[in-house]
Chains A and B, each alone.
Chain A
Amino acid sequence: MLDLAWLILVFPSVGALINLFVGDKLRERGIHIVASGAVVLSFVVSLGLFFGLSGLDEHHRTATVHLWDWITIGSFTAPAALLIDPLSVTMALVVTGVGALIHIYAGGYMHGEQNFQRFFVYLNFFILAMLVLILSNNFVGMFVGWEGVGLASYLLIGFYFDRHDESYGHYADAGKKAFLVNRIGDFGMMLAVFLIWTSVGTVVFEEVSLGAGALTTGAATAVCLLLLLAATGKSAQLPLFVWLPDAMAGPTPVSALIHAATMVTAGIYMVARTHFLWELAPMAGSLAAWVGGLTALLAASIALTQVDLKKILAYSTISQLGFMMLGVGVGAYAFAIFHLVTHAFFKALLFLAAGNVMHGLPDGELDIRKMGNLRAKMPTTYKLFLIGAAALAGLPLLSGFFSKDGILLHVANFNILLYLIGLFTALLTAFYSFRAVFMAFWGEARDQHVHEHAHESPTVMTAPLWVLAVLAVIGGALNLPFLLTLEHYLEAAVGVPAFHPNWTMEVVLLVVSAVVAVAGVGLAYGRYIKGSSTAAGRFSAGVARLVGPFEPLARNKWYVDEIYAAWIVGPLLALSDWFNEVVDQGVVDGAVNLVGQANLALGGALRKVHNGLVPTYALSVFCGVVALLLWFVIGG
């Protein structure tokens, strides 16, 4: 079975090619069946890989499927080969599973779109690139998928390349921004690969793992810092997170699949995949943890203030990715991957439910201030969104509760301040998730026009969500405390964590997390439903007054975009203009023309002397030859 792993790549490739070349003859239905069918088949292959791998001995659950020799120059080789191990199979299951559901959903969501065919070509291409990213057995192969998903993301963000509005500006610019910001991260990735190869002599993960001992702590730290830069790009962390909110310009299924469930988790996956390097570089790990923690806090603070439903979810994604980064930073790889999986379920669910809201409201309205009482009009979507929000908020016994708590448990052992930041962020998370629920689905309808036209979505757009909803609820069972199944399963790929919490600590922190989540929901309830007349309402109003001064800052996203524009992009563009207008045309070309004119003048003068019989060119050659002859005769 494992030998057939390459099939997992074949299906989406074939799907994309069929739809690219003959999609216009297939019509919507045919296109949708081809694209979704391809991903479903890949999911079946993933299942096959999972069972094939389970058949192997627990401690040697890893297999390499060599496809062909890709790049060989001297002592450098990068094969095209797949690494099948618990980590890659877990990722493949999520990517193809959630991917298949979203493909099915998108058939309904994109119905009637002008570029229906193009959309599904991109979407299949994305799945292909994502699978290359997670299955490659070496850094260079992973980089192919890494930039490939970037291209897919770029194309899908700019899918409505001719639109622009107040919330997202020109959609095409949002795509460009995503690609370029990611390229800054890719810059780090390329340098990391160079450094790994020059120091260890190979780029194949398993060989680097074996040879990592040759790395000095300094070299390992440098490699990990470069990888961290790459991860902050792809997984939207400080300082490179700025592209993800704008990425919401893409169609909502794209936001769910690429910008929440799968692609953005690539940075987390990559760190887990290279855990053997991070174990040599504790300083880089700490930095990753702090980056993750601060990103989680910062993004959650922004999410509190947004009024666009998709942007709330986008900042929430950044924040949750921060949690995962925090997890890998402190060495809790299995829990970070666990959270990655549960987050894929509930965040995809939330985005698709938001897609239903957008789909069911006039003009694709997303402003939660214009909503209210939507549960009357969209009961199914309401239930789905509520389940997603509850899982995101980390309400007890739902999937997000267990995975987030697992990370916090390891963070508590690592650094108490970071733990408190994480806990506070969890509080904010619960608050903003239910702020969205209450403002959109509860209370009074605030815009009659919007409310009148609101309608529920068709089955094709709700059925896949129920699957996700079930997973969002029971996903925690993948890794129940004290049973530890996923964590144990992943050990073969990411190693055994150094830290084993005792029962008391585990139970205490579990209770603390539960209290915090419930408190967050309660605060939101008090503020958005009860009003300031009640005790709960007065309390949350008091909290609101306390943090009030920060509100404009958070609403304006802490001005990070503006700072980048003023300090980096602006100066570079000015430099570009200056180079073009002054340096190139003036100085460099000016010098050339000056030399040219001087020569012509000189030629003219010489021509007078020689009566115009000898062209300057021949003359100079002649002089040169004579000079050389003299030099050899005299010198030699």
Chain B
Amino acid sequence: MLSILTFLPIVGAIVVLLAPSDSLKKWLAFGATVATFVVSLLLLPGWQEIPDMQFVERYAWMPDLNIYYHLGVDGISLWLVLLTTLLMPIAVAFSNQHIKQNLGGYLALMLLMETAVLGVFLALDLVLFYVFWEFSLIPMAFLIGKWGSQNRIYAAVKFFLYTLAGSALMLVAILALYFNAGTFDLLELQRAGLPPGLQQLAFLAFALAFAIKVPLFPFHTWLPDAHVEAPTAGSVILAGVLLKLGTYGFLRFALPLFPVAVANYATLISILAVVGILYGALVALAQRDLKSLVAYSSVAHMGFVVLGIFALNEQAVSGAVLQMVNHGLSTGALFLMVGMLYERRHTRLMKDYGGLWASVPIFSFFFLVVAMSSAGLPGLNGFIGEFAILLGTFKSSPILAVLGTAGVILAAWYLLHAFRQVVQGALTNPANLKENLPDLNWKEIGQLVPLVLLFFAIGLAPNFFLDKINPSVAALEVVQTPAVGHELLVDSSDQSKQDSDINPLTTIY
């Protein structure tokens, strides 16, 4: 089943390339992504709320080197898989409307990317993981480099080299793990345990790769360039899915394999995450280009995810997993909406808009909901993730939680600023008048509605999602037993003990 899921898009890619006409290519690509989504939905009926890997597939791939084709999905990866398979048909539908040049190649690259990303989320063998990981770079680099805007080559090269450079050391570390334990299998490595010295070095190598991908401050500067230049669907997938590869990597590999190193570096990484939250938000506030504002908002939002992961307790880590999905939905929708404006007016500068509520009310209403989701309004999805992350962070480090919570104020600031510039105010530019600026058509509404419905579903009934996430998070070793030496950590498995022993005030004041 997981193999079908992973490779269905690549089959689609081949079919799309062979198809004779553009309109057929469009339908085939859309059909392939929808089919993949349907297959991924089949994971839900048989889902068990247990910590273990489910739907596992394991075949010998290169037996001499002990390399296996090993796939599996658990509560940490489940929703990321579904996020990917949901965003893809939406991104393809958007592209079908707007991409004119070399459509077949474009759609094939999108489908290739879907296979690569799903592979990363499902692989349980480090070599297999690494192959998918590197493979995911290539289609995106081409999408930016070939279908992007003016400065696309610079952005594509920077994106490619920066993230590639980050993962080079990871390969070295993977080999080191193999030489130490004799296996590339994640679960076996986890059981075997690694010597602390190796953990430290290997963690740094993995962490660099993941931190660049997230991107964690100060490794984020490739992101605005890539986003501003990328075609809309590329941005949707880049922000919605590719960034999650970094945070997923931390959760899937760094936390289970290097618990000692994680305990050592948790504070440092958490501090970088908080800096990213505040810094990203302030830089977002200074943007004049709507797309780069959204790009910097990603730096801030992904900072929350990293903060949650390295708070190392159940609430924060589960919140971080959910927040990855939330960010994918909200930011995906934001980029989609920026794209919808751009296709109409061919500008992304906020000053070229203003007063759109009078001319395009449907667009404006969706923009409001999406902005509120991104700002973490309670009742919508973003709040659940942010709240759980900050709650858990407060437990392990009140000071960082206070600073992170301040980031929530700033998030409202830059989002309302964007809303004020684009949708509110007087409609002065004739190009924005009703006659010249059509409102969303039913196709565009169709692309946004699934995302908005999920905002409400996650916001109002988060337990449907959390119940599947929680068991896998609770089973993480670092989450259960805090390592010694990280004085801010608090044992989350023993709530009552913690209540009497730890007075959070001692750490605040």
Residues of A participating in the B interface, judged by any CB pair closer than 8 Å: 68-76, 80, 140, 143-144, 146-148, 151, 154-155, 158, 161-164, 170, 172-173, 175-176, 179-180, 183-184, 186-187, 190-191, 193-195, 197-201, 214, 216, 218-219, 222, 572-573, 575-577, 579-581, 584, 588-589, 591-592, 596, 599, 617, 620-621, 624-625, 628-629, 632
**Contact indicator B169/A579 (Cβ below 8 Å):** no
**Contact indicator A621/B179 (Cβ below 8 Å):** no
Contacts of A194 in B (CB 8 A): 390-391, 394-395, 398, 401
The verdict on A199 contacting B503 (CB below 8 Å), with A70-B462, A183-B412, A187-B408 known, is yes
**Interface residue B65 (Cβ < 8 Å from any Cβ of A):** no
Contacts of A216 in B (CB 8 A): 503, 505
The verdict on A140 contacting B387 (CB below 8 Å), with A75-B495, A219-B505 known, is yes
Instruction: Determine the distance from Cα of A572 to Cα of B284 in the docked complex, in whole angstroms.
Output: 12
Instruction: Determine the distance from Cα of A278 to Cα of B185 in the docked complex, in whole angstroms.
Output: 56
CB distance from A143 to the nearest CB of B (A): 6
Main secondary structure of the interface of A (DSSP, over half): helix
The interface-forming segment of B228-236, B326-334, B422-430 is B422-430
The verdict on A581 contacting B286 (CB below 8 Å), with A176-B420, A218-B505, A219-B504 known, is yes
The verdict on A190 contacting B405 (CB below 8 Å), with A216-B503, A588-B221 known, is yes
Main secondary structure of the interface of B (DSSP, over half): helix
User: Can you spell out 13 A-B residue pairs with CB atoms less than 8 angstroms apart?
Assistant: A70-B461, A76-B388, A148-B378, A162-B357, A180-B416, A183-B409, A183-B412, A187-B406, A194-B391, A194-B398, A576-B286, A617-B164, A621-B171
Instruction: Determine the distance from Cα of A541 to Cα of B156 in the docked complex, in whole angstroms.
Output: 75
**Contact indicator A198/B394 (Cβ below 8 Å):** yes
**Contact indicator A161/B505 (Cβ below 8 Å):** no
Instruction: Determine the distance from Cα of A218 to Cα of B507 in the docked complex, in whole angstroms.
Output: 13
CB distance from B421 to the nearest CB of A (A): 10
**Contact indicator A70/B168 (Cβ below 8 Å):** no
**Contact indicator A76/B315 (Cβ below 8 Å):** yes
The verdict on A195 contacting B504 (CB below 8 Å), with A140-B387, A624-B172, A625-B172 known, is yes
The verdict on A72 contacting B463 (CB below 8 Å), with A161-B357, A161-B425, A628-B176 known, is yes
Contacts of B383 in A (CB 8 A): 144, 147
**Contact indicator B282/A579 (Cβ below 8 Å):** yes
**Interface residue B187 (Cβ < 8 Å from any Cβ of A):** no
Instruction: Determine the distance from Cα of A190 to Cα of B412 in the docked complex, in whole angstroms.
Output: 15
**Contact indicator B168/A620 (Cβ below 8 Å):** yes
Given contacts A162-B358, A576-B282, list 20 more A-B pairs with CB under 8 A. Answer: A68-B461, A74-B318, A76-B388, A147-B377, A148-B379, A164-B426, A175-B424, A176-B417, A191-B394, A222-B505, A575-B282, A576-B285, A579-B283, A589-B221, A592-B221, A592-B222, A599-B165, A617-B164, A621-B168, A625-B175
Contact with A along B166-191 (1 / 0, CB 8 A): 00110110011001100000000000
**Contact indicator B218/A588 (Cβ below 8 Å):** yes
Interface residue from B282, B424, B466 paired with A71 (Cβ < 8 Å):
B466
**Contact indicator B499/A201 (Cβ below 8 Å):** yes
**Interface residue B474 (Cβ < 8 Å from any Cβ of A):** yes
**Contact indicator B405/A191 (Cβ below 8 Å):** yes
**Contact indicator A195/B394 (Cβ below 8 Å):** yes
**Interface residue B372 (Cβ < 8 Å from any Cβ of A):** yes
Instruction: Determine the distance from Cα of A151 to Cα of B371 in the docked complex, in whole angstroms.
Output: 12
> Which B residues, 363 to 388, have Cβ-Cβ distances below 8 Å to chain A?
368, 372, 377-379, 383-384, 387-388
**Contact indicator B401/A580 (Cβ below 8 Å):** no
Instruction: Determine the distance from Cα of A76 to Cα of B461 in the docked complex, in whole angstroms.
Output: 15
Instruction: Determine the distance from Cα of A41 to Cα of B508 in the docked complex, in whole angstroms.
Output: 47
> Which B residues, 483 to 507, have Cβ-Cβ distances below 8 Å to chain A?
492, 495-496, 498-500, 502-505
The verdict on A162 contacting B424 (CB below 8 Å), with A625-B175, A628-B175, A628-B176 known, is yes
**Interface residue B314 (Cβ < 8 Å from any Cβ of A):** yes
Instruction: Determine the distance from Cα of A75 to Cα of B462 in the docked complex, in whole angstroms.
Output: 16
Instruction: Determine the distance from Cα of A584 to Cα of B217 in the docked complex, in whole angstroms.
Output: 10
**Contact indicator B279/A579 (Cβ below 8 Å):** yes
Closest to A114 in B: B358
Closest to B495 in A: A75
CB distance from B290 to the nearest CB of A (A): 15
**Contact indicator B504/A198 (Cβ below 8 Å):** yes
CB distance from B359 to the nearest CB of A (A): 11
Contact with A along B407-444 (1 / 0, CB 8 A): 01100110011001001111100000000000000000
Contacts of B425 in A (CB 8 A): 161-162, 170, 172
**Interface residue B77 (Cβ < 8 Å from any Cβ of A):** no
Contacts of B172 in A (CB 8 A): 621, 624-625, 628
**Contact indicator B286/A147 (Cβ below 8 Å):** no
Contacts of B3 in A (CB 8 A): none
**Contact indicator A629/B179 (Cβ below 8 Å):** yes
**Interface residue B94 (Cβ < 8 Å from any Cβ of A):** no
CB distance from B491 to the nearest CB of A (A): 11
CB distance from A450 to the nearest CB of B (A): 27
**Contact indicator A632/B426 (Cβ below 8 Å):** no
**Interface residue B287 (Cβ < 8 Å from any Cβ of A):** yes
Interface residue from A73, A190, A592 paired with B162 (Cβ < 8 Å):
A592
**Contact indicator B315/A74 (Cβ below 8 Å):** yes
**Contact indicator A179/B416 (Cβ below 8 Å):** yes
Instruction: Determine the distance from Cα of A173 to Cα of B426 in the docked complex, in whole angstroms.
Output: 12
Contacts of B98 in A (CB 8 A): none
